[in-house]
Amino acid sequence: MYNFPLLYVRSVFILIFSMLIFTGSVRSQDSLKRAKDSIQVIPDTLLFRIQTAQAAITEVNAANKKGYGVLEVQERLSMLASSIASVRRDLNTGKQSTENRSLMSYKLILKDVQTELSSLSGRLMKSNSELQRMSQQVVDLSADSLLLIDDQDAQKALYKPQLSQIKLRLQDVGEVTGKNLSKVGELLAKASSMGIEVNDLQVALDEQLEKSGRIAANREVPYIWAAPWNLFSLSQISARLSDAFFGQGEILQYFLNSTWDTCLMVLILVAIFFVWVHRNFITSRRLSVKRKIGEIKFDYLRAYPVMASTIVLLCILPVFQPDAPSIYIELVQLVLMVVITIHLRKVLSKKALNTWFLILGAFIFLIFSSSLISEAFLPRIILLSIHLLFLLLGIKMYRSVKIPQFPKRFFKIATAVLVFMTGLAIILNIFGRISLAKAFGLAGVISLTQIISLAVFAQVMIDALELQIKISACNKGFFSRLNPDTLKSKFKKVLAIFSFIIWLMVLFNNLGMTSGITSLMNTLLSKERTFGSIHFSLGNVVFFVVIIYISNKLQKHVPILFGEQRISFDGASDHKGSKVALFRLIIIVIGLLLAFTASGLPMDKLTVVLGALGVGIGLGMQNIVNNFVSGIILIFEKPFRIGDYVELADKKGKVQDIGIRSSKLLTPQGSEVIIPNGDLLSGRLVNWTLSNDYLKSELLFKVGSSVDMQQLQEIIAEVIKGSAHTVTNLPPEILVNNLAADSIELKILVWINNVYVEAAFKSDTLLRLMTAFQQAGIKLV
């Protein structure tokens, strides 16, 4: 009994001791496992870091090999520096004689240079940021202690070749990245310095322009009667010409370099014109075509239209280059006049050719003499004489000369501008405003030469269109559907408007007003205006109106695309489907969507407008909407077609047009009846020609009761059979309609092949029946 507690205590002690031993062994195993895991973590982390470094080095190398366009940026900066140098050289000379047109050209150059510098600076800043990021990445990898070589570390010793290679590659890539960063930084500093210089030059240029304006408005040189008589020596003349054309030449070169893409586009357009005209001439020489249209000969167009294409090229250039410098306009005009002289030397009369040579020679002399004009008496007298010559020529041409290619008022406006400008130039020259005299005189002369050149351009285009119309008429092409006289008349109007716009652009350019007008129009059209809670600009309103107008014009001329002509009541016409109305609907819908998009009206505001429109529809526009929806239903349901003969209530006629809101009927009396589509859809409509054009016509007449019916029926059948308007496989029906004591009323039902000839059929048949009855001795009652 006494040993039981002792045994119990011993058992508990043994159990606790065993548990302690087991726990210690477990802890030892966990410590060993953690040691093994730590030994495995080191090489895994090192390997990952080596792979990351190699990937980063590869990325930096790829970026450095791809480059950052350093050479290209250097070349572009050099070109910009050259452009800036030409402006700086002229402004820093302190000359007061720098012409206003040169200053305006310099302003355009500086504006383009500033835009280009902003683009290059943005590109360089982006490259600089990327290089700094990569440089910092290289520095971080180089300073990473895990990538350093340690011979005492057994694990790093295993990766010693890779670590050595990474170290060398980091040195190489760091050196290359540093060089690129240095180059980009230098270019960025240069671009910044050039930007500051451009700003300074713009300020100086604005001051010079203001000063030039004051000088031009005031008297620059003595009055002409007080002008000195000293003349230039040959060396002085050469120096002034060289100075003038050197500065203008640099401006011209810069302009051509900056607009080469526009010139290329215009050349492509003119090449298309050349191929079009040349191919039409080749087609006209085919025997089958030549028999129909005969020999084709145009005064302004040749089979190889090289000169004509050059004239088109030089005339449309101002449209694509509205900011061209004045020297460019003058050279283009001079070349254009020379080309016209070569092209029309055998076409113009001797008198017209002599006048043209006089204008050409005076124009050339005016261009060169404008660069030599000074305060001396003789040069100013020469300039005054040239202006006086053009003044007298303008007065004579205003009174007597007419250009058939343009409206009379157009040419009168051009000659009136010539007279006004040259007269003003003479007055300004006399009173010492020599710069304004040169500017106004040259603008007036170019206005005359430009209008004559544009007349030649218009005639070339008219001849090209006429050639296309003749070829199309032989091949049943698109132009064969159109009225040639109407088409040429409308095309002539379009050319006149287009030429007038070009003439105005050149005139404003020569007067130095282009930039001012453009700035004014931009300000007026782009300024935001407020109407209640709606914000808009006049530009949006203009776009809205223009798009609606064009859409309306297009939907009106859609029938031309499908070859539909004006329908007459008696004339034969094919039945046209509702494609025209469908395309009209599509054009109107697209036009409305584009117009609302161009208006800039937000969708929430548009919802308000549509809500207000819904109220308006509910109050007073039900009929309009009803007719519009009915028109859409008629398009798809097709209860009648253009050319069908329909009857609605007391109105009968041929369908002339199917519109969106209403349709037109042409009655037999020749009147046009406009019927709302809602009435056509909801009313009782009879279509006499939906499936065919047959019509059962009815003839009534009375004969005596003693007549031989068998003979009578044979005569009637023979007469009706001889008519060209009856359906041959449907014989006539001869019926007795009424009987009386001394007469018999007959009704004849005849199927005729065209509903539109019923009246003519009845008249012809009754006349022939009367003649046949008289020959047979049958009397009509």
pLDDT at 467: 87
Highest mean predicted confidence (pLDDT) among 372-376, 384-388, 528-532:
384-388
Beta-carbon-side half-sphere exposure of residue 19 (alpha carbons within 13 Å): 6
Who wins on pLDDT, 492 or 475? 492
Mapped onto helix, strand or coil, the DSSP state of residue 304 is coil
Asked whether 552 and 565 are in contact (CB, 8 A), the reply is no
The lowest-confidence range among 274-288, 291-305, 370-384 is: 370-384
pLDDT at 218: 63
pLDDT at 26: 39
The side-by-side arrangement of strands in the sheet containing 685-687 is 672-676, 662-666, 651-658, 645-648, 685-687
Alpha carbon distance 630, 675 (integer Å) = 12
pLDDT at 116 over 90: no
Output DSSP code: residue 780: B
Who wins on pLDDT, 149 or 187? 187
pLDDT at 226: 74
Which residues of the chain are in CATH 3.30.70.100 domains? 695-776
pLDDT interval class at 420 (50, 70, 90): very high
The lowest-confidence range among 222-226, 494-498, 538-542 is: 222-226
Who wins on pLDDT, 548 or 142? 548
pLDDT interval class at 613 (50, 70, 90): low
Question: Tens of pLDDT along 295-351?
Answer: 778 888 888 889 999 999 999 988 888 877 778 888 888 999 999 999 888 888 888
Output DSSP code: residue 576: B
Mapped onto helix, strand or coil, the DSSP state of residue 768 is helix
pLDDT interval class at 47 (50, 70, 90): low
pLDDT at 339: 92
pLDDT at 595: 83
Highest mean predicted confidence (pLDDT) among 147-156, 270-279, 327-336, 557-566:
270-279
Q: Which long-range contacts (CB under 8 A, 24 or more apart) does 412-420 make?
A: 414/447, 414/448, 414/450, 414/451, 414/503, 415/448, 417/444, 417/447, 417/507, 418/390, 418/391, 418/393, 418/394, 418/444, 418/445, 418/447, 418/448, 419/391, 419/394, 419/395, 419/444, 420/444
Tell me the backbone φ, ψ of residue 655, rounded to 5 degrees: -70, 120
pLDDT at 14: 44
pLDDT at 266 over 80: yes
pLDDT at 454: 92
pLDDT interval class at 565 (50, 70, 90): low
Block residue for tokens 């009313």: 683
pLDDT at 268 over 90: yes
Highest mean predicted confidence (pLDDT) among 117-126, 264-273, 467-476:
264-273
pLDDT at 310: 93
Asked whether 79 and 191 are in contact (CB, 8 A), the reply is no
Q: What is the mean pLDDT of the chain?
A: 77
pLDDT interval class at 163 (50, 70, 90): low
HEC string for 589-610: HHHHHHHHHHHCCCHHHHHHHH
Cβ-Cβ contacts under 8 Å for 534 (sequence gap 6 or more): 601, 605
Mean pLDDT of 21-32: 43
pLDDT at 42: 46
- Percent of the chain's residues with pLDDT above 70: 76
pLDDT at 240: 58
pLDDT at 38 over 50: no
Right CATH for 695-776 from 3.60.150.10, 3.40.50.150, 3.10.450.50, 3.30.70.100: 3.30.70.100
The lowest-confidence range among 115-129, 204-218, 268-282, 436-450 is: 204-218
Alpha carbon distance 640, 665 (integer Å) = 12
The count of other CB atoms within 10 Å of the CB of residue 182 is 11
DSSP letters for 238-290: HHHHHHHHHHHHHHHHHHHHHTHHHHHHHHHHHHHHHHHHHHHHHHHTSHHHH
Tell me the backbone φ, ψ of residue 695, rounded to 5 degrees: -145, 135
Mean pLDDT of 751-763: 84
pLDDT at 30: 46
Cβ-Cβ contacts under 8 Å for 644 (sequence gap 6 or more): 575, 654, 655, 687, 688, 689, 690
Question: Tens of pLDDT along 506-521?
Answer: 888 888 777 778 878 8
Highest mean predicted confidence (pLDDT) among 79-93, 118-132, 453-467:
453-467
pLDDT at 33: 39
pLDDT at 440: 87
pLDDT at 184: 81
Who wins on pLDDT, 534 or 93? 534
